[in-house]
Structure 1
């Protein structure tokens, strides 16, 4: 993309600069395309975990549409908080907000198999956690020391590792099909739809440029949807039924699912708010460095954290899920070189319009679960890769290896074997079996209390007798 046709280099680095609408509108929509699938996927996963039916004739169909609708609407609203700002809320930077994957390991156990009845406690946690998240804006600069790359990289990697199972289940036919013992679960037909999405996504990502590459996952889903339609996995009648049952325009309803205080939900969302806040700090810094060639100011970091938290709390009131800044859009700014916050404002308006039109959600809902599984496998795999990339900044001495090993073993182990803590009280059991929280807490505490240097004999057994190798090296290197 030629910068000269959009503005001067100085203008492009200015968040307050507005390109001509003929350029600004496509750039704004490009931001939406880059995050659209990732933004609505958590709502679909939470609905599936709660046991909502996935067919257009299901009694839960309106609830599915509503959750998708709120994901789009409040991603747009939260993005406006960042770009337009209200007082000290917002960074006045081109930050795109969207539904966060990070909270899924907390949300899935809270709603598992409990249907709509579980949503009151879920949204109670979203609202209180959002307010707590906003309050972190007052101290975010002072707590960053407790969350170095060792901790944040571990957490992001754990998020991806825990969610890849969801992608595989979706690609095979979905959890309901597995639970009912359906013969088609894991069939070649189901997997073929997922593989079409994966192959098309990879082809577009690595062999095209510009909008085609940026929208690879979205276009992969479109091609997969067409394949599923040809193979009879979704009927034209089902699409027509979904379209006709969805309203043309609908406003959000406050406290549609009620409000309930659940200790497990509140603790889970508040603890994850720390990680989300630090992720936002990283995204803000990435935007200012990549787009403007400077470090982020304290006011920008604080304002972004406020917007993160208040955007999440507001979404929770109306049935939306936690919001956070989207890292893929940070990379998009670095690629286009356009720092204008008004470009992202256009994208936010587009998201809000989509969120107010349930027919958009109705079309999304007709995507077969196997097709969505192909996209989810790619996205969650990228989450793992992002975590490993963050861990590459860690000094892999013996101390850090021990912290990582213990935190990963206990966190992932409890998530894989939840019956190991079945005698704990319900709230504590939900938090422990999320896997993510015990791993994060262990990593934070151990990083703060363990001395920077451990004696050799303290780690010989843990490191498998390779203590004599160079720091950070693996056996055989």
Structure 2
């Protein structure tokens, strides 16, 4: 390919040398792995699955994450998938409804059959209505886009902090100073590499920080690799491993509501990634992205996993490294499929200490929020209405982050929407923009402290 031809290809569609592609892709795997396995971990304990069943869920999840990522980044016949560098993973929005559905129907494998039936139904519903849902794009001017991206970044921050502090406040090592210092060291390593190095090394600063941090943690006795020896050599995911799906009407409707919320989150994520990679977002692109969510969610119901959405932490990684090729994300999808087939390899990745991940997460998630600030610079923030859109949408989005139980006494359907800071923040930004965009500006000359024209 000539230099002129290469320059005409958008960075999203560029194919990089294989060596670098594999390294960049592995960086994406490390960035999203903890989030990818979190959903099966939480759900398995809540619905009383055995350890063997949990391991199977994790393998199935990784394998289907890979397929979903390939579909989103490469597309199927230019009809399903956005052709953007988006890593797909299980959405946390569905966790509480899935636990309720499973336990209402007996828990265990019997409960999962109802969950998977609801997931298949909701995935198909998402696929069918994606063309109509994408009409929302016209409600995303720069002030809404910037607010949504900022909310995504701020909503992810507690994830990184919890990785550092520990998941269980009752644990003896919760907020252990050595863990916090290790996270700070990893962040410092990433920043030094990012500041001192150029080119390739700078682009893999997160990967180098994770690797160096893990080696230091292992030397200090803060890493545990015993799971690698205990993991099976091979794990095959088969359809309907827990039994054939059960399509219970109320559960199907509840999961469809979850998918509507997930579609709103995906819309925000697509807005964020297009802003970061510099590729104009179109209604057709959003429709194909939402179809991929629906397709992957229905496929997850077949392969014993859960509803899928875009992973925002990988969007932050793209913003930080500047590497925008969707083919790198596609290779990440292949790696996830391999990890799902070979549990020992997955165990190696899982052995990265959470405080090490947290140090890197602070940089990646902060980059998403910074991209939101950058997008807001294109909005007319001198207008009082636009300032109010940003102020209130961000404030409302932070409510469930600051007080997770804030909506606990509301109906379940309200909790599904409002407990997601990204969803409620996005909805608030859209509604306020519609209400305030034509609001009259105050007459400056009538304000008590306005400057005179001669000043």
> 1:39–1:99: 8 Å Cα contact kept in structure 2?
no
Q: 1:400 to 1:320 in 2, by over 3 A?
A: same
* TM-score (ref. length: structure 2): 0.76
> 2:124–2:295: 8 Å Cα contact kept in structure 1?
yes
2:24 equivalent to 1:26: no
> 1:28–1:346: 8 Å Cα contact kept in structure 2?
yes
| Structure 2 partner of 1:175 | 167
Residues 68-120 of structure 1, C-alpha deviation per residue, up to 9 Å, x if partnerless?
A: 54454334323433565433424684x3331359x44x356657999986977
2:347 to 356, 362, 376: 362
2:63 to 54, 61, 73: 73
| Structure 1 partner of 2:158 | 165
| Structure 2 partner of 1:191 | 180
Distance 2:158 2:421 in 1: 14
> 1:195–1:374: 8 Å Cα contact kept in structure 2?
yes
| Structure 2 partner of 1:10 | 5
Distance 1:431 1:8 in 2: 49
Any idea what SS the aligned residue of 2:77 has? coil
| Structure 2 partner of 1:412 | 398
Point out where structure 2 has 5 or more consecutive residues left out of the alignment.
none
Deviates further, 268-277 or 256-265? 256-265
2:146 to 153, 156, 161: 153
* TM-score (ref. length: structure 1): 0.73
Structure 2 counterparts to residues 235-384 of structure 1, below 5 A: 235=224, 239-254=225-240, 256=242, 261=251, 266-277=256-267, 279-280=269-270, 283=273, 302-318=287-303, 319-320=305-306, 322-324=308-310, 327=315, 348-384=333-369
Structure 2 counterparts to residues 436-455 of structure 1, below 5 A: 436-455=422-441
| Structure 2 partner of 1:217 | 206
Deviates further, 147-156 or 258-267? 258-267
2:137 equivalent to 1:144: yes
Any idea what SS the aligned residue of 1:39 has? helix
> 2:228–2:345: 8 Å Cα contact kept in structure 1?
no
Distance 1:200 1:47 in 2: 32
Distance 1:197 1:137 in 2: 41
Deviates further, 44-53 or 365-374? 44-53
Any idea what SS the aligned residue of 1:179 has? coil
Aligned residues: CA RMSD: 4.3
Distance 2:55 2:216 in 1: 23
Distance 1:370 1:229 in 2: 12
Distance 1:85 1:334 in 2: 22
Any idea what SS the aligned residue of 1:456 has? coil
> 1:246–1:362: 8 Å Cα contact kept in structure 2?
no
Any idea what SS the aligned residue of 2:179 has? helix
> 1:90–1:304: 8 Å Cα contact kept in structure 2?
yes
Aligned length: 432
Q: 1:85 to 1:123 in 2, by over 3 A?
A: same
Any idea what SS the aligned residue of 1:323 has? strand
Any idea what SS the aligned residue of 1:175 has? coil
Q: 1:306 to 1:285 in 2, by over 3 A?
A: farther
Q: 1:434 to 1:331 in 2, by over 3 A?
A: closer
Distance 1:48 1:468 in 2: 58
| Structure 2 partner of 1:56 | none
1:385 to 358, 364, 370: 370
Distance 2:235 2:368 in 1: 34
Distance 1:91 1:368 in 2: 33
How far 1:226 moved relative to its partner? 1.2
2:69 equivalent to 1:41: no
Q: 1:241 to 1:356 in 2, by over 3 A?
A: closer
